[in-house]
Amino acid sequence: MKPDTISNDCQLNSSGKLIHLLGLKDLPRQHLENILDKADSLLGDKGNLKKSKALKGMSVANLFFEPSTRTRNTFEIAAKRLSADVINLNPARLSTNKGERILDTIRTLEAMHTDIFVIRDNVSGTSHLVAKHVPSHVHIVNAGDGRHAHPTQAMLDMFTIRQHKDDFTKLRVAIVGDILHSRVARSQIHALKILGVPDIRVIGPRTLLPTEIEKMGVTPLCELDEGLQDVDVIMMLRLQLERMEGQLIPSAQEYFRQYGLTPERVQRAAPDAIVMHPGPINRGLEIASEVADGERSLILEQVTNGIAVRMSIMAKLMASQKRPEE
């Protein structure tokens, strides 16, 4: 995997406070744990999401230049549960389609007193660029940028794991599938390393494993049956056909035969292993329906947890924030 040349330095201020969430690489562990702890406090005893007035009187703009169902909708629900006003912007109707630079679009929306921008783009580093050009009272959340990072997905995955496993430092985790094109995998690896997971395996066809990925502190494997042996957590990935250039897999049927998660393959993992997937799921390609809907699957739980974690992140960014005089 190529070195990550996009710096996350601007997401912390001079006091070490988190003011943007752009990526998880090199983020101090205490920030991850604070986000997880706050998310835990937002879930009731029965898993019901609590409401909060943490963002009352503030505005959150969802700016998605790539299609999204789960991420965009859970950010909208999260912001509303924090009592924020939400603006969902339709990229097809934005002035960027008329040649306007994204920074000019941001400045226009900023003039409308937007406090948080949630940004998804197919270009790596877009959120980082914007974060460097907004005033201190405006906060940026990266909802996915190119192949680079998807920090909120990784954090909701960590939250889901923590609900079912007591100690990150004793876990064996397998990340399976299209590692090459996955911003989710990159962010998951950073989060797992920060939280102390000692055994992280990335499994997929050689054509979908980035070169030098072992430099991220993981073990690359091409044989799924070998890689799943005794793991505690199985994190499946979506096969990102839309990002592929050339024929990187022989066929859908052959991919499922070699790398699809079936009930038989789950049996190779630890007896209490959990199964996760960021969605959307391609049944019969990445995962069998019996597994996706089975008792070990936490896929729907991840969706609910995504709301709590995104509430936690936005509340953390806005903590003690004072808006400028109007």
- Tell me the pLDDT band of 312, cut-offs 50, 70 and 90: very high
Give the per-residue pLDDT at 105: 87
Q: Is residue 197 one of the residues assigned to a domain?
A: yes
In the predicted model, is pLDDT for residue 24 greater than 60?
A: yes
In the predicted model, is pLDDT for residue 149 greater than 50?
A: yes
In the predicted model, is pLDDT for residue 99 greater than 70?
A: no
In the predicted model, what is the mean pLDDT of residues 131-139?
Answer: 95
Give the per-residue pLDDT at 91: 72
User: Is the same domain home to 247 and 193?
Assistant: yes
Higher pLDDT, 77 or 47: 77
Give the per-residue pLDDT at 90: 75
User: Is the same domain home to 130 and 144?
Assistant: yes
What distance in Å separates the CA atoms of residue 238 and residue 69, rounded to the nearest whole number?
A: 14
Q: Is residue 223 one of the residues assigned to a domain?
A: yes
Q: Is residue 4 one of the residues assigned to a domain?
A: no
In the predicted model, is pLDDT for residue 320 greater than 70?
A: no
In the predicted model, is pLDDT for residue 95 greater than 60?
A: no
Average pLDDT, the chain: 92
Give the per-residue pLDDT at 97: 54
Of 156-160, 185-189, 213-217, 247-251, the one with minimum mean pLDDT is 247-251
Q: Is residue 208 one of the residues assigned to a domain?
A: yes
Give the per-residue pLDDT at 268: 98
| 112 φ/ψ angles, rounded to the nearest 5 degrees | -90, 15
In the predicted model, what is the mean pLDDT of residues 234-247?
Answer: 76
From the list 215, 258, 225, 226, the residue with the least C-alpha distance to 239 is 258
Per-residue model confidence as pLDDT tens digits over 49-81: 999 999 999 999 999 988 898 999 999 999 999
What is the pTM for the complete model shown? 0.93
In the predicted model, what is the mean pLDDT of residues 80-92?
Answer: 90
User: Is the same domain home to 29 and 169?
Assistant: no
- Tell me the pLDDT band of 179, cut-offs 50, 70 and 90: very high
In the predicted model, what is the mean pLDDT of residues 283-290?
Answer: 97
Give the per-residue pLDDT at 171: 98
User: Is the same domain home to 157 and 118?
Assistant: no
CATH number of the domain bearing residue 195: 3.40.50.1370
Q: Is residue 1 one of the residues assigned to a domain?
A: no
Give the per-residue pLDDT at 46: 74
| 303 φ/ψ angles, rounded to the nearest 5 degrees | -65, -50
Q: Is residue 100 one of the residues assigned to a domain?
A: yes
CA Rg value for the chain: 19
| 171 φ/ψ angles, rounded to the nearest 5 degrees | -95, 150
User: Is the same domain home to 121 and 257?
Assistant: no
Give the per-residue pLDDT at 92: 65
In the predicted model, is pLDDT for residue 34 greater than 60?
A: yes
Q: Is residue 323 one of the residues assigned to a domain?
A: no
User: Is the same domain home to 28 and 53?
Assistant: yes
In the predicted model, what is the mean pLDDT of residues 277-291?
Answer: 96
User: Is the same domain home to 193 and 105?
Assistant: no
- Tell me the pLDDT band of 153, cut-offs 50, 70 and 90: very high
| Exposure letters 160-198 (e unless 16+ CB within 10 A, then b) | bbbbebeebeebbbbbbbbbbbbbbbbbbbbbbbbbebe
Alpha helices in the chain (DSSP H): 29-41, 70-81, 102-110, 126-131, 151-164, 183-194, 224-227, 252-259, 263-266, 289-292, 299-318
Give the per-residue pLDDT at 325: 43
End-to-end CA distance of the chain: 47
User: Is the same domain home to 88 and 159?
Assistant: no
**CA quadruple 253, 264, 286, 125: dihedral positive or negative?**
negative
Structural domain including 73 reads: 9-149+304-318
User: Is the same domain home to 142 and 207?
Assistant: no
- Tell me the pLDDT band of 301, cut-offs 50, 70 and 90: very high
Length of the chain: 326
What distance in Å separates the CA atoms of residue 72 and residue 86, rounded to the nearest whole number?
A: 11
Q: With beta carbons less than 8 A apart as the criterion, state whether 59 and 226 touch.
A: no
- Considering the chain, what percentage of its residues have pLDDT values greater than 70? 91
User: Is the same domain home to 113 and 43?
Assistant: yes
- Considering the chain, what percentage of its residues have pLDDT values greater than 90? 81
- Give the CA diameter of the chain: 62
Higher pLDDT, 40 or 102: 40
Number of domains into which the chain is organized? 2
Q: Is residue 326 one of the residues assigned to a domain?
A: no
User: Is the same domain home to 85 and 220?
Assistant: no
User: Is the same domain home to 128 and 20?
Assistant: yes
